[in-house]
Amino acid sequence: MSTIRLGDVAPNFTAQTSQGELVFHDWLGESWGILFSHPADYTPVCTTELGTVAKYKPEFDKRNVKVAALSVDGLESHKGWISDINETQNTTVNFPIIADENREVSALYDMIHPNSDANATVRSVFVIAPDKTVKLIITYPASTGRNFDELLRVIDSLQLTAYHKVATPANWKNGDDCVVVPAIATSDIPKHFPKGYTVVKPYLRLTPQPNLD
């Protein structure tokens, strides 16, 4: 069983999916990625989640994010389940669902927590950068559906802070002021952030989001 931490290279794997064979790193290419697991096919909470992801795919595409789901059931099961998802959620599943019957990918990503369930995956989420490093890990219990608005918010923050010397404060959303990182001296802020800044405390400096016009 692997333990993956932030900054680790996401393990590569080859798997069969609802959209054909997938070699994970090749499939990601230069994109960001989300890999998220489901306890099983034909489960009610998962059905709502996959329908939500299908509806949100334009938002993920806008951010250059590819999405793949995983379940420990097989391809034939996936096909039938996708039909149910499309029907009940009024959408079309438009991303691959990995078949992981042998639990190889689940083991690589430590998605099975025996004290929760010895056979099914918990609701794991991994956000992966174009360099294939893991930037976010969230683990939900099987009983709690994920908030995909929050995942979009986190991706906005990850993409912003990857290219600008800022961090994002509590409850930040796209368009809000950002925190200037401590490594930049207050006297140097104007040359990095010409939109201006506010000093709340010497260690807490705010600036308008730098990648917006």
Q: Can you tell me the mean pLDDT for 179-195? A: 96
Q: Are both 76 and 179 inside the same structural domain? A: no
Half-sphere exposure of 1 (CA within 13 A, CB side): 7
- pLDDT value, residue 119: 54
Structure tokens that stand for 138 in this block: 């969230």
Structure tokens that stand for 130 in this block: 């174009």
Q: Are both 175 and 135 inside the same structural domain? A: no
pTM value?
0.90
Q: Are both 30 and 118 inside the same structural domain? A: yes
Per-residue pLDDT tens over the stretch 11-57: 999 999 999 999 999 999 999 999 998 888 898 999 999 999 999 99
- pLDDT value, residue 111: 82
**Position 10 pLDDT exceeds 70:** yes
Q: Are both 189 and 100 inside the same structural domain? A: no
Q: Are both 197 and 132 inside the same structural domain? A: no
- pLDDT value, residue 120: 56
Give the β-pairing of 32-38 and 65-71.
parallel
pLDDT band at 164 (very low <50, low <70, confident <90, very high): very high
Nearest to 49 by CA among 121, 119, 115, 144: 144
Question: Do the domain assignments include residue 213?
Answer: no
pLDDT band at 115 (very low <50, low <70, confident <90, very high): low
| Domain, as residue range, for 170 | 164-207
Percent residues over pLDDT 70 in the chain: 94
**CATH value at residue 58:** 3.40.30.10
**Position 113 pLDDT exceeds 70:** no
- pLDDT value, residue 44: 92
**CATH value at residue 178:** 3.30.1020.10
Q: What is the set of active-site residues? A: 46
Question: Do the domain assignments include residue 5?
Answer: no
Question: Do the domain assignments include residue 34?
Answer: yes
Contact 84, 42 (CB under 8 A): yes
Question: Do the domain assignments include residue 155?
Answer: no
Nearest to 97 by CA among 105, 87, 89: 105
Contact 177, 208 (CB under 8 A): yes
- pLDDT value, residue 2: 59
| Number of folded domains that form the chain | 2
Place of tokens 């994010």: 65
Question: Do the domain assignments include residue 127?
Answer: yes
- pLDDT value, residue 67: 97
